[in-house]
Amino acid sequence: MNVEDELRDIFGNRVLTRKEDMIPYTRDASFFSSDIPLAVVIPRNAMEISKLMRLCCENNIPVTVRSGGSSLTGSSVPLRGGIVISMSAMNRILEIKTDDSFVIAEAGVRLDDLNSELRKKGFFYPPDPASSMAATVGGSINTNAGGLRASLYGATKEWVLGMEVVLPTGEIQQFGGKTLKRTKGYDFTALMVGSEGTLAIITKAILKIRPMPEELGRIMAYFTDIENVGRSIMHLKSSGFIPYIAEFLDKGSLESVKIAKGIDYPKESNYLLMVDMASTHESISRLMEETSSVIKRFNPVSISITTDRAEMEKMYEARKGLYSSSLLLRESRDQYIVIADIVVPLSELSSAMREMRDIIDRSGIKAILFGHIGDGNIHGNIFASPGSEENRKKVEKLQLDLGMVAIRHNGSVSAEHGIGVEKKELLREEMKFHNSEYTLDIMKRIKEVFDPKGLLNRGKIFD
């Protein structure tokens, strides 16, 4: 039996081998793409994946796992061909236990769908990457996704209790468990978070959940000066105000939101600081006033408070769609976006933001800045033009320079998007800066233990 026959033996008609069917699996939300893979399979359970991995092991076939296909660094692109595992059909929510504070969901469950079910019980799963409409449980664990609410709740790593995985050699294993704490040797659950599909295939996960906040309020503060945006958030946090969400948009981002969603902004402003606070019905007004008074010390040109859910939702959606809607600012139809994803400690934010702005202005490359400022995470959407070697070099240099700002300010080159294909060099730079290049060697050795034949997601994180 050849490989295709064996695949059909395992998956029946859930094996795609026609070029036309496989084209969509050659791209994700990054600017990377690949050639057509050998095949795409759509499993329904861990056992099928286990059989597949044994087959791939025997035949040395590379495997790339794909779920929502919303990676921004090319992690789900099958660069080395082989077989793509689409986790889309493994999209069941298996158990919601509010008394034990967890939900068990298969890897292909989209985060918005998960929260839609949890909401019915008054609970939610806090990690909310801007891509939550498309992003899935499996993908967000693999990139340690953060999102808007990470300001208060932290990134995905804080919310994963355990998981079921299929190892590259075909074994099905359980990591972690259903309890809120445990100590049982090496923490493989933590190791899997951010591993970008290079160590094992996550099939389901046990995730912590929280009751929904009783009341939310929002402050929209517009500034002319970038450093005052950073100072505002730093002082808010040091004064004990921990935002539920704290987002920052520069003028280009505001313009993009205006075009896409019709949400206008004061002409004289260059930056928006959007701060959401969570509290009780009784205290929300007082909290919003107090939060607002801290921000007012940094001279916003305009500041307003709202608790209107519809108004808040509109801007929330606009912010979540910003990566895509910023494409409306392109100067030509073939321009594409390279996205920076740096993070610095809050105390460094103000000066780091100033440096980033200056570097962009000097680069001669169009870029917009926005991000989850509440946890020091700034994104830069850099507009790149294909076909121009000069432009390509400039864009690469800009990406590197922005990453170096983070490194110099004790931050990191990747806050929440992962390394993928795109940030491998930046990762090396960060390790080098901290004299920790040996860490990269340890990572490679761990990879060899899990995946001796190097089948899973080749060419991602490191070569």
Q: Which residues bind other proteins (CB under 8 A)?
A: 13-14, 16, 19-21, 23-25, 27-29, 40, 42, 68-70, 86, 88-89, 91, 110, 112-113, 116, 131, 133-134, 260, 318, 320-325, 327-328, 333-334, 337
Task: Give 175 or 265: the residue with its C-beta nearer to other proteins.
Answer: 265
CB of 429 to other proteins, least distance (A): 27
CB of 261 to other proteins, least distance (A): 8
Cβ atoms of 48 and 30 closer than 8 Å = no
Cβ atoms of 171 and 50 closer than 8 Å = yes
> What is the C-alpha to C-alpha distance for residues 284 and 282, in angstroms, rounded to an integer?
6
Q: How far is CA 244 from the centre of its chain?
A: 18
CB of 277 to other proteins, least distance (A): 26
Task: Give 345 or 386: the residue with its C-beta nearer to other proteins.
Answer: 386
Pairing state of beta strands 39-41 and 83-86? parallel
Task: Give 116 or 293: the residue with its C-beta nearer to other proteins.
Answer: 116
Task: Give 27 or 251: the residue with its C-beta nearer to other proteins.
Answer: 27
Q: Is the dihedral of CA 439, 56, 193, 398 positive or negative?
A: positive
* Cα distances (angstroms) measured from residue 435 to each of 241, 419, 428, 432: 36, 19, 10, 5
CB of 19 to other proteins, least distance (A): 7
CB of 203 to other proteins, least distance (A): 15
Q: Supply the DSSP symbol for 213.
A: P
CB of 430 to other proteins, least distance (A): 27
Q: Supply the DSSP symbol for 90.
A: -
Task: Give 67 or 412: the residue with its C-beta nearer to other proteins.
Answer: 67
- Dihedral Cα 306, 308, 311, 317, nearest 10 deg: 100
Amino acid in the structure at residue 388:
S
Query: Which residues are CB-neighbours of 126 under 8 A, at least 6 positions away?
Result: 149, 150, 152, 153, 154, 159, 210
Task: Give 23 or 94: the residue with its C-beta nearer to other proteins.
Answer: 23
Task: Give 23 or 180: the residue with its C-beta nearer to other proteins.
Answer: 23
CB of 333 to other proteins, least distance (A): 5
Amino acid in the structure at residue 46:
A
CB of 29 to other proteins, least distance (A): 5
CB of 14 to other proteins, least distance (A): 6
Cβ atoms of 453 and 57 closer than 8 Å = yes
CB of 327 to other proteins, least distance (A): 5
**Can you say whether residue 44 is alpha, beta or left, with left for phi > 0 and alpha for psi between -120 and 50 degrees?**
alpha
Please compute, for residue 314, the number of CA atoms within 13 A of its CA located in the half-sphere on the CB side: 12
What value, to the nearest 5°, has the Cα angle with vertex 133 and ends 129 and 134?
90
- The neighbour count for residue 122, using CB atoms within 10 Å, is 11
Q: Which residues pair with 218 in a beta bridge?
A: 276, 306
Query: Which residues are CB-neighbours of 359 under 8 A, at least 6 positions away?
Result: 398, 401, 402, 405
> What is the C-alpha to C-alpha distance for residues 291 and 246, in angstroms, rounded to an integer?
12
CB of 436 to other proteins, least distance (A): 34
Task: Give 40 or 234: the residue with its C-beta nearer to other proteins.
Answer: 40
Task: Give 63 or 318: the residue with its C-beta nearer to other proteins.
Answer: 318
Task: Give 88 or 101: the residue with its C-beta nearer to other proteins.
Answer: 88
- Helix or strand (DSSP H, E) at 114: helix 111-119
- Angle between the 3-11 and 46-59 helix axes, to the nearest 10 degrees? 170
Task: Give 246 or 260: the residue with its C-beta nearer to other proteins.
Answer: 260
